[in-house]
Structure 1
Amino acid sequence: MQPDALLTQDELDFIRTMQHNPQLNKRDATSSLLVNGGAQIKDLLTRLAANEQVTIQAQFENQQMSFPLQLVEDEFHALHLKLGAPSIYEEGPMIRPWRLTLEEPMPLEDEQGRMSHLWVREISFKGVLLEIRNQAKTPRHFSLWFNPSGHEPIALRGSLERKTAAGLVAYRLDQSDEKDIESLRQYILHQHRLTHPHLHA
């Protein structure tokens, strides 16, 4: 190597290794959004996303997806528009959040990972239908963890809505943390893909 070279041989080898790593060269199609339409449209979308809630709606069969458009800052402090995980709705006599019915009920857990007496039967991004076991008292509010297999635990906070004729209890989810909301939507989206693969092909 020449004495006035800017990089050492080790640094050059490292850069070449990074360039030829297939994992690092994969583009995540779900995390980026290219907006065509000129500077005025980009500026308008950027201003709206910075100050208001902007969504992109998609409708198919009897379902709707509402994707939040988010303004994110990269490591170079440049702003980009990014699609967040969608809110999924189903149509019927009234439009309601799409519910995932679990094959087997799953217990909610406390912060130490201990099972509670609240077991999830159905879940959506807005609410959860619970079975209360061990003749425990029905709480008006709960703050516990949903820990599905293959997914990171999701913090859930719920407020009692109603009891059903089948003896189950419906809670409205009061998610305040943006990370928890996004994590729950990602989980619901993943399960929706498994349940309706033809819609995601």
Structure 2
Amino acid sequence: MPVDALLTQDELDFIRTMQHNPQLNVRDTTASLLVNGGTQIRDLLTRLAANEQVTIQAQFENQQMSFPLQLVEDEFHALHLQLGAPSIYEEGPMVRPWRLMLKEPVVLETEKGQISHYWVREISCEGVLLEVRDGHRPPRRFSLWFSPEGHEPMPLHGTLRRKTEQGHYAYQLRQDNPQETERLRQYILAQHRRTHPQMHA
């Protein structure tokens, strides 16, 4: 290698390895959005996404998916349209958020990691069904952490809505900031992919 070379042979080999790694060359197609239809449509969507909540709806059998359209800024400060994690709804006598029924209930924890008496049996982006154990009364409101296996803990804030026929308690969720909402949506989406792989193929 010439004396004035900018990179060593090891550095060149590393770069070549990175370029030929198939896992690093796969685009994330779940978040990308290509708008075909000219600059007028793209400009209109960009203006709407900057000032209003814009969603793209998809229908599959008895389920609806509502993708938020967001403006994101890249490292060069250019703005791009990007799809966020969808809200998933199921149709029936009424349209309601798709609920993940957990195989095993997950205990809610305090901020310090102490377990509570409240166990999540079902969860959606808008609500949670709790089982209350050890003779405790259901709280009117709670702020606890949901820590499903393999995922970072997520804060949940719920308000009691009703008691079910099975003796569980339905709570409406209220997330305090958009990042919390997005993390819960991403978790629900990942579980929906496992449950309904044909919709995400």
Provide TM-score, normalisation by structure 1.
Answer: 0.91
Q: Secondary structure at the match of 2:113?
A: coil
- Uncovered stretches (5+) of structure 1, i.e. residues with no partner: none
Deviates further, 20-29 or 97-106: 20-29
* Whole-angstrom distance in 2 between the partners of 1:196 and 1:20: 32
Q: Deviations over 1:51-93 (max 9, x none)?
A: 1010000011111000001110011101011111110001111
1:106 aligned partner: 106
> Cα offset for 1:187?
1.2
* Whole-angstrom distance in 2 between the partners of 1:58 and 1:22: 30
2:8 aligned partner: 10
- Uncovered stretches (5+) of structure 2, i.e. residues with no partner: none
* Whole-angstrom distance in 2 between the partners of 1:83 and 1:98: 19
> Cα offset for 1:105?
1.1
1:120 aligned partner: 120
2:136 aligned partner: 136
* Whole-angstrom distance in 2 between the partners of 1:83 and 1:10: 41
Q: Deviations over 1:24-67 (max 9, x none)?
A: 32211112111111111111100101110100000111110000
Residue identity in the other structure for 2:91: E
The answer as to 2:62 corresponding to 1:62 is yes
2:77 aligned partner: 77
Runs of 4+ deviating beyond 6 Å: none
How is 1:34-73 mapped onto 2 (pairs within 5 angstroms)?
34-73=34-73
Residue identity in the other structure for 1:34: L
* Whole-angstrom distance in 2 between the partners of 1:187 and 1:73: 24
> Cα offset for 1:95?
0.5
> Cα offset for 1:2?
7.5
The answer as to 2:163 corresponding to 1:163 is yes
Provide TM-score, normalisation by structure 2.
Answer: 0.91
Identity of aligned pairs, percent? 70
Residue identity in the other structure for 1:9: L
The answer as to 2:178 corresponding to 1:178 is yes
* Whole-angstrom distance in 2 between the partners of 1:2 and 1:192: 56
> Cα offset for 1:20?
3.4
The answer as to 2:27 corresponding to 1:27 is yes
Q: Deviations over 1:85-138 (max 9, x none)?
A: 110001111100011111111101112222111100111110000011111222
* Whole-angstrom distance in 2 between the partners of 1:179 and 1:16: 36
> Cα offset for 1:8?
0.9
> Cα offset for 1:16?
4.1
2:153 aligned partner: 153
Residue identity in the other structure for 2:197: P
The answer as to 2:94 corresponding to 1:94 is yes
